[in-house]
Amino acid sequence: MNKHGPCILSIIGVSDSGKTTLILKILPELRKKGMKVAVAKHCPRGFDLDVKGKDSWRFSHAGGEGIYLSSGKDEAVIRPKNESVRLKEKLKTLFPDFDIVLLEGYSDEQGINKIQIILLLDKL
């Protein structure tokens, strides 16, 4: 479906505004249309992928600066973040055969289309 890499669209909003909920609702709809969809999430407080005690954790704590994990159906790469490469280019490289990459967050990222969720409070 794509000729020049995936369409990249960021869903932005304050914490608990419904970003994840929106992505979870539109993902199956995009899949029904035959689209290949990837998701990227901004985790400003970090995340746990490399679980203490597991081999990947042991490799990184022994000095491995890049770790590649693969199973029968999935793969993952753990490496230091390269700040000099723009997110849009990273995603196009990681998901060249995808139709769309939905982002959760990344509100400050330049050159990426965004949908902002705004919470409205009823005045009673």
- For the cut 80, the answer to whether the pLDDT of residue 121 exceeds it is no
Q: Which amino acid is at 29?
A: E
Percent of the chain with pLDDT over 90: 45
Per-residue pLDDT reduced to its tens digit, 68-80: 888 888 888 888 8
Per-residue pLDDT reduced to its tens digit, 26-51: 999 999 999 999 999 888 777 767 78
- Cβ density class 70-94: b for 16+ within 10 Å, e for less: eeeeeeeebeeeeeeeebbeebbee
- The count of residues in the chain is 124
- Comparison of pLDDT for 103 and 85, the residue scoring more: 103
Domains and CATH numbers, the chain: 7-48+81-116 (3.40.50.300)
Task: Work out the burial of residue 124: count CB atoms within 10 Å of its CB; fewer than 13 is exposed, 13-18 middle, 19 or more buried.
Answer: exposed
Q: Which amino acid is at 113?
A: N
pLDDT confidence of residue 29 = 95
